[in-house]
Amino acid sequence: MIGAVARFAFGWVGYCRTDTGLWALTLPQPDRPKALERLKELAKGPINPPGGLLDRILLDELEAYFSGRPASFADMPVDWSGYTPFVRVVLAACRAVPFGQTRTYGELAQMLEKPGAARAVGNALRKNRTPLVVPCHRIIRADGSPGGFTGGREWKERFLALERQLG
């Protein structure tokens, strides 16, 4: 794995990637040691220093996002290995939700032609190890409330508010 931690306006963010694409991205942490600790949990192996185009693309997009500018992460490939086929399909569909917009769990299930699978969609999103790049925070409950988020509801609400402000 190749990875690093970097400081942004919201805190320290860690990432690691393979030659295929982004493997994991931490949510902002209060300090560098916590970001490294969380990154090591996600990487499940040694992390080598970055230095390629993919690293620059990711860091530039994260800088834009955390500085309050729209970011798409569209040019950042994701390494989907380790996910079940259903989780991959859900995460790929989630990735298509544009910046500043939301979809409900049910709408995402409908997009996948799996009506009634809102709960399964939510469970699949819980496995997302690349938040922001795969913007699972943009998926909300049918009643308009945020719903769950691996990093905590506060982060989900913060990201949604930031995107509403810019979108």
pLDDT exceeds cutoff 90 at 26: yes
| Parallel/antiparallel/unpaired status of strands 11-17 and 103-104 | unpaired
The average pLDDT across 58-79 equals 91
Active-site annotation, residues: 136
In one-letter notation, the amino acid at residue 65 is: Y
Asked whether residue 120 carries a pLDDT value surpassing 70, the answer given is yes
Asked if the 85-166 domain carries CATH number 3.40.50.720, the reply is: no
Paired strand residues for 22: 17, 78
pLDDT tens per residue, range 122-158 = 999 999 999 999 999 999 999 999 988 888 889 999 9
Phi, psi of 68 (to 5 degrees): 85, 25
What are the residues whose beta carbons fall under 8 Å from the beta carbon of 149, sequence distance 6 or more? 136, 137, 155, 156
- Per-domain residue ranges for the chain? 2-66, 85-166
pLDDT the model gives residue 167: 59
